[in-house]
Structure 1
Amino acid sequence: MRAARFLVGLTLFVAVAASFLPLVETNVWWVRYLDFPRVQFAVALLVLTALLIATGGARRAWGLVAVVLGLAALGYHAYKLHPYTTLVAPMAEAEPVCAEGDRLDLMVANVQQSNETSEALFRMVEKVDPDVFVVLETDPWWDAALTEMDGRFPYKAQFVPEGEDTGAFGMHLLSRHPLIGSETIFYFGNDTPTILADIALPGGAPVQVVAVHPRPPLYWSQPTTMRDAHLLTAALEARASEAPTVVAGDLNAVPWERTLRRAMRIGELLDPRVGRGLYPTYDVQSWLMSWPLDQVLFEDRFALSKWLVLPSFGSDHAPVLAGLCLAPDLADRQNAPPLEAGDLEEAERSIAAARRMNE
C-alpha cells in the first residue's frame, strides 16, 4: 500500500507540473504540446487525486500538499476549458435563417496526404453542399482527384507541391461563388502556403477567406515559432481587410492556447466552439489524442447558422462545416474578444522571429 501510495503521489506531482508548465512563455515544442491535452490532464488529475485520498495519502503532509496542488491544477484546467461548454454564452450569435444572398457555408477537410481514398469525402461534400471547400494536405494525387468537383466548384485557388515526398503542404480552395481575386502566399518558407481569396456572395457583398495550415511543432527539431507566426499573420490579414473575413483551416493549435487567443483578439475573430462544446477533430483514430485542431474563425459581421464536425472519411482529421450568415447588424450583439495591451507588439516579435528562422 505504501509503495502504491507513493507512486500515485509522484505521478500526481508530475501531472501538476505538466499542467502549469505551459504558463511559461516559450516556443519549446514539448512545453507547448502540454497545452493540447487539457481534457486528458483534467481526467488524470481527478483520478489520481481521488486515488491518493482513497489510499490515505492525504493524511500525510506531502500527500496533503499533493492533493491541494492536484485540485489547483484541476481548477486551472477547468478555467481554461469552461468557455467550451454550454455553461457560458456563445461567442457567435446563432442565426438559423439566412437569406440566400448572404449565406456562406464553408467546409474544411485535412485529407492526409497518405490517404488516397476520395469517395467517402466526395459523397460527404455532395450531402452537405458547401459553398466553399478548403482542402488541406493535398498533393498531385489529390489535385487530380479534385477535378471531379469542378462542376460543383467552378472557381478555385490552389497550391500543388511538385512531385511526391516533398514535405510541402498542398492546399486547394474551391468555391461555388466567383473569386474576385485570390493570392497564394508563402510567408515563412515555400512549403507552407496561405491562400487569400476574395469571394463574391450571391447578394453581391465581398468576403475574404484566409485559408491556413501552419506546420505543427515537430519533435526535437521545430519549435512553435513558425506556427505561431502563421496564426498571427492570418489574424493581421483579417484585421487589415475591409471585407468581412473568415480564417479557416487546420490550425495545429487548440482554441485555448495563448497564441490562438491572441490571434482571435487581433483579428476580432469569433470561435463557434465557445459556448457550444469542444468538437474535437483530431485524431479520429485515437480516443486518447482527441483535440479541436480544425477551425473556422470569423469576424462579428457574420452570424452562425450551423456548426458541425462531420464524420471521418479515411483521414486522421474529421472535417468541419460552418454555416455563416453575413449580418453586420448583429455585430454589436456578438462577443468578439477585444484587443489587449501588447498583442500587436507580441505579434510583431513572433513574426520577426519566424523570419529570422527562415533566413
Structure 2
Amino acid sequence: MTLPLPLLCFSLFLIISTLIPLIRHDYWIFRIFEYPRLQKLILNLIVILIITVWYMPENTVAWIVLAALFLNLLYLCYQVYPFTILGTKQIVKSRNPPGDNNVRLLIANVYQENRRAADYHRIIDQCNPDLILLVETNLWWQKQMDSISSDYPHQLKIPLENTYGMILYSRFELENGQVNFLVEDDIPSIEVDVRLRSGVLIRLFCLHPQPPVPQENPRSTERDKEILMIAKKAKKCAQPVIVIGDLNDVAWSYTTELFSKISGLLDPRRGRGFFNSFNAKYFFLRFPLDHIFCSTDFTLTSIQRLESCGSDHFPMCADLQFDSDSEARNEAPVADQEDKELAEEKLAKPIEIF
C-alpha cells in the first residue's frame, strides 16, 4: 500500500530532525533538535507501528522509508540508553548514611513572573536542603525568599530584572565568594567555596546561560562558551567540585558531553533516569535542563525531581556525599585530543550582542 503523503512527510521529518544535530553548527535551528530525543523516539516508534499495521509497504520508496525509520529508532535508543535505569551509573551510590560530609542541594528556576513564592517555601521545608540556588530571581523574589535568612545566613544575591538573576542561600559557611560575568555583561554566574559540616572545603559553581532560541539568542555560542569556561575552571580546581544550574542545554547534547569530558565531572542522572525538569507545563515537551555535576570525590545519596511550583521548571533536589574513597569507584570522563581542540575552538569564537 502507498504511504499517505502526510505520513511520508512526517517520517522524513523525524529522520531529518535526528540527523540535524550531527551538524556541529551554533545556529539555534541545529541545536534545538538536540532537546526532544525521547519524544522523537516515541514518535518514531508510533509511526513504525502505524506503517506496519495499516500501510504495509508495497513499493520501494515505502520500504526505504520504513527501513530508515528502523535505523533511526535504533540510533535514538542508543542515544537514550545511558540515561535509563539500564545504563551504567556514572556516580556510585553512597555507602555511608548521611552525615557531616553530605551536602543537600535544591535548584529551582522560579520563572520571574511566577508569584507562587509560598510553594517554594513549602518545597524548602520538605526538601530541607543545605544549599538553595534560585534563578530568574528579581528583587520581588528576593524579598519573598529572604524570610529563610535565619536558617540560611550565608548568601550571595544578584537580583536582576532580565530573567537572569540568581540567589544562593546556604546553611554552610561560604568563603571566597565571587559573582562573575564570564561571557555577557548581564548574565552572572557564581563561584564560591563551601565548607561542609566536616570542615571539607568544596568549590561550587552556579550558572544560568542563555538558551539558543530566537527570542533570546539565535545561536548557542555564548551558552557553550560559558559552560566550557566553567569546565576548564573545574578541571584546574584542586578541591572537590560541584556545578549546578539551569544550563539551558539537555543532558545528552554534545556540548554537555564535552563539558563533562573537559571538566572530568560526573552526571548523577546517568543510569538513573532522565529527571526532565523543563517544561513543567507541557507533559510531552520535557527535557533535562537543570543540572548537577560533581567531581569523583562524591557519591550520590539521593536525587529527585520535585513537584511544580508554578514555574515552567520543576525544582531538583540532590544529596551528595563527599567520600575520599569514592574516586577509586567513580570513573571520570576523559577528553581526547579532538575534544580538547573542539573546546578551544568554541572558547575562541567571538561574542556577539543580540
Distance between the aligned counterparts of 2:157 and 2:185, measured in 1?
A: 14
What are the ranges of 5 or more consecutive residues in structure 1 without an aligned counterpart?
none
CA-to-partner distance for each residue in 1:54-90, whole Å, 9 max, x for gaps? 3335221001100111111111111111001111221
Amino acid at match of 2:80: L
What are the ranges of 5 or more consecutive residues in structure 2 without an aligned counterpart?
none
Query: Are 2:212 and 1:217 aligned?
Result: yes
Distance between the aligned counterparts of 1:79 and 1:222, measured in 2?
A: 29
Amino acid at match of 2:200: A
Residue 130 of structure 2: aligned partner: 131
Query: Are 2:302 and 1:306 aligned?
Result: yes
Q: Among residues 187, 191, 194, which one is paired with 1:192 in the alignment?
A: 187
Residue 248 of structure 1: aligned partner: 244
Residue 71 of structure 1: aligned partner: 70
Residue 150 of structure 2: aligned partner: 151
Distance between the aligned counterparts of 1:147 and 1:156, measured in 2?
A: 10
Match of 2:4, SS state, is: helix
Residue 159 of structure 2: aligned partner: 160
Match of 2:178, SS state, is: strand
Residue 321 of structure 1: aligned partner: 317
Residue 33 of structure 1: aligned partner: 32
Task: Quote how far apart the aligned CAs of 1:356 are.
Answer: 3.3
Residue 113 of structure 1: aligned partner: 112
Residue 268 of structure 2: aligned partner: 272
Residue 290 of structure 1: aligned partner: 286
Deviates more, 1:173-182 or 1:343-352: 343-352
Task: Quote how far apart the aligned CAs of 1:358 are.
Answer: 5.1
Match of 2:278, SS state, is: coil
Distance between the aligned counterparts of 1:329 and 1:234, measured in 2?
A: 25
Amino acid at match of 1:170: G
Task: Quote how far apart the aligned CAs of 1:31 are.
Answer: 1.4
Q: Among residues 197, 205, 220, which one is paired with 2:200 in the alignment?
A: 205
Distance between the aligned counterparts of 2:221 and 2:56, measured in 1?
A: 42
Given that 1:5 and 1:55 are in contact with CA atoms closer than 8 Å, whether structure 2 keeps it comes out as no
Amino acid at match of 1:324: L
Task: Quote how far apart the aligned CAs of 1:285 are.
Answer: 0.6
Aligned residues: CA RMSD: 1.6
Residue 11 of structure 2: aligned partner: 12
Given that 1:304 and 1:324 are in contact with CA atoms closer than 8 Å, whether structure 2 keeps it comes out as yes
Match of 2:238, SS state, is: coil
Amino acid at match of 1:75: L
Match of 1:10, SS state, is: helix
Residue 180 of structure 1: aligned partner: 175
Match of 1:138, SS state, is: coil
Match of 2:333, SS state, is: coil
Q: Among residues 253, 257, 267, which one is paired with 1:257 in the alignment?
A: 253
Given that 2:178 and 2:192 are in contact with CA atoms closer than 8 Å, whether structure 1 keeps it comes out as yes
Amino acid at match of 1:118: A
Given that 1:8 and 1:51 are in contact with CA atoms closer than 8 Å, whether structure 2 keeps it comes out as no
Given that 1:5 and 1:52 are in contact with CA atoms closer than 8 Å, whether structure 2 keeps it comes out as no
Match of 1:58, SS state, is: coil
Distance between the aligned counterparts of 2:98 and 2:36, measured in 1?
A: 40
Structure 1 303/76 Cα, relative in aligned 2: closer, same or farther at 3 Å?
A: same
Task: Quote how far apart the aligned CAs of 1:277 are.
Answer: 0.7
Given that 1:300 and 1:328 are in contact with CA atoms closer than 8 Å, whether structure 2 keeps it comes out as no
Match of 2:337, SS state, is: coil
Given that 2:222 and 2:351 are in contact with CA atoms closer than 8 Å, whether structure 1 keeps it comes out as no
Identity of aligned residues (%): 27
Given that 1:305 and 1:324 are in contact with CA atoms closer than 8 Å, whether structure 2 keeps it comes out as yes
Residue 92 of structure 1: aligned partner: 91
Given that 1:5 and 1:57 are in contact with CA atoms closer than 8 Å, whether structure 2 keeps it comes out as no
Given that 2:248 and 2:290 are in contact with CA atoms closer than 8 Å, whether structure 1 keeps it comes out as yes
Distance between the aligned counterparts of 2:123 and 2:5, measured in 1?
A: 51
Task: Quote how far apart the aligned CAs of 1:289 are.
Answer: 1.0
Distance between the aligned counterparts of 1:142 and 1:10, measured in 2?
A: 46
Task: Quote how far apart the aligned CAs of 1:265 are.
Answer: 0.8
Match of 2:34, SS state, is: coil
Task: Quote how far apart the aligned CAs of 1:342 are.
Answer: 2.4
Task: Quote how far apart the aligned CAs of 1:99 are.
Answer: 5.3
Distance between the aligned counterparts of 2:295 and 2:323, measured in 1?
A: 10
TM-score by length of 2: 0.96
Given that 2:111 and 2:163 are in contact with CA atoms closer than 8 Å, whether structure 1 keeps it comes out as no
Task: Quote how far apart the aligned CAs of 1:315 are.
Answer: 0.8
Given that 1:168 and 1:192 are in contact with CA atoms closer than 8 Å, whether structure 2 keeps it comes out as no
Distance between the aligned counterparts of 1:344 and 1:134, measured in 2?
A: 30
CA-to-partner distance for each residue in 1:42-64, whole Å, 9 max, x for gaps? 11111112222233352210011
Amino acid at match of 2:54: T
Q: Among residues 224, 233, 238, which one is paired with 1:228 in the alignment?
A: 224
